[in-house]
Amino acid sequence: MKLQSLTLACLGIVAVAAVAYAADAKKTDAPAVQLPPGWTAEEMQRCIKAGTPGEGQARLMKDVGTWAGKSTVWMAPGMDPLVGEVTAEYSPVMDGRYVRCEMSGNCPMMGPFQGLALFGFDNVSKKFVASMVDNHSTGIMQGEGELARDGKTINWEYVANCPREQKPVTLRQVETATSPTTKTLEMFALDPKSGDEFKMMSIEFTKK
């Protein structure tokens, strides 16, 4: 915990220093800002660029708004699907650097569902990132995604602890923008018995 707190404190100091550096750099009559020991101006600019919203964040902002969806869930290969309705509310946070998603619906086997997700685009790794929690679990699902060449599809890979297998498992999700106001989410998992991949969930969303 001490190491984590120290790391977060250092990141906060660097962020504040970068903002101050950027602000003073715009003032032609302002004295030069002293860089931290061992830092170069180029390294400071990298920090500023890493914290500046760009194309990746703009891609996420397209989701801002309210979406209504129809969900189809397969608990295992060959089983009849469970069909339900879901609503997702996307809103920008941290001055457009991230998007928060609150999802609600009903799971026929487990009851009312509530989910909360935070999406971002990491300017350093050049990948989309996500963290998700819901009222049907106690773990945090973490994901990374990459935009396909078509510019419409984000291929996600999530890792979560599986209560059935009692270990981390990897889930694959394909998020496709089919139009400016419609999109689909398809999630795939490995069947523990056969080891084959199967579609476990599909959601068809329409923006209100």
Proportion of the chain above pLDDT 90, given as a percent: 76
**Domain housing 36:** 2-52
The pLDDT value given to residue 31: 55
pLDDT digits (tens, 9 = 90+) for 90-140: 999 999 999 999 999 987 677 899 999 999 999 999 999 999 999 999 999
Average pLDDT over residues 52-69: 97
Could you give the number of structural domains in the chain?
2
CA 57 and chain centroid, separation = 11
Q: Say if residue 61 is in the same domain as residue 162.
A: yes
b/e 150-185 (16+ beta carbons within 10 angstroms → b): eeebbebebebeeeeeeeeeebbbbbebeeeeebeb
Are 100 and 8 in a shared domain?
A: no
Is residue 182's pLDDT more than 80? yes
What pTM did the predictor assign? 0.84
Across 8-35, average pLDDT: 52
Q: Tell me the CATH number at 106.
A: 2.40.128.20
